[in-house]
Structure 1
Amino acid sequence: MTLGKKVKLRRDELKIGQAQLGELCGVSRRTIVSYETDKSLPREKSLRKLAEALGVTEWYLTHDDCTEPTAGINEEPFIQAARDQFGKKGAEEMADLLIKNEQMLAGGTLSEDQKDMFFAAISKAYFINKEHAREKFGRKKSDS
């Protein structure tokens, strides 16, 4: 199902109009119509607000094959932290990493505590290495 269909379906479930959803997201009714008819896609900031207003995840909205509105809800804080610290590319890398690890653990024999520890360790390693790469390869500040 496309982002547009998901937005319309969820908006109907919440019994809110296009104008009201637009107000919640900081966009016009016309923009909401454009999303719902798949004429345009929201930018990153608008996508976050849209997902929040609809009570769904960004992952759900942006992946046509995803049918669970709360898919990735546990990963959202990590993805948001990566976005805040490293931008869009960092958030995409974090999302990819989390999904691959989630798939790896699906059906496994790890306890919930072991899974939590694994995810915390992976996230910590990611941020440490990302910061190291930024220091090593990022733009140098000039002294002028």
Structure 2
Amino acid sequence: MNLAEKIRTLRVEKGLKQEELAELVGTKRWSINQYENGIQRPHKKTLIALAAALGVDADLLGNDEAELHTDEEIIDRFGADIKEKYGEDAKKGFKKMVLNNRPMFAGGLMPEQDRDKFIEAVAVTYLKFCELSIEKYGKVMIDDDTGE
């Protein structure tokens, strides 16, 4: 994934408009548009500000060879174990729980490597919840509306 794709992917994942990202970075919307369309590359200072606003390491963002994982990819990776052990509904519940807590790492509050560890910890905890739920109720207890 190149720099332009990473910037767009991370901005959209965080629910930011180009104007909002530009404000966080201290630049103009048209600059963000130029970066996302691969027309222009940001200067180092701007790249560092973009990385901070998007919650990733500047080296990861600027390196076209470095792999970037979206929330969805990480959730699916851990969700596969949950699905295998407890079924599709349990996986959906886990995914909904993580996505509903996305504000915890929106806007760069949680760097990507910490986000991965957080989602992994949630997955481990969710698996334990599933085990205890089966012991107590004979099935995984998931609220259809909340995923809890």
TM-score by length of 2: 0.46
- Which of 1 and 2 has higher RCO (CA within 8 Å, sep 6+)? 2
TM-score by length of 1: 0.47
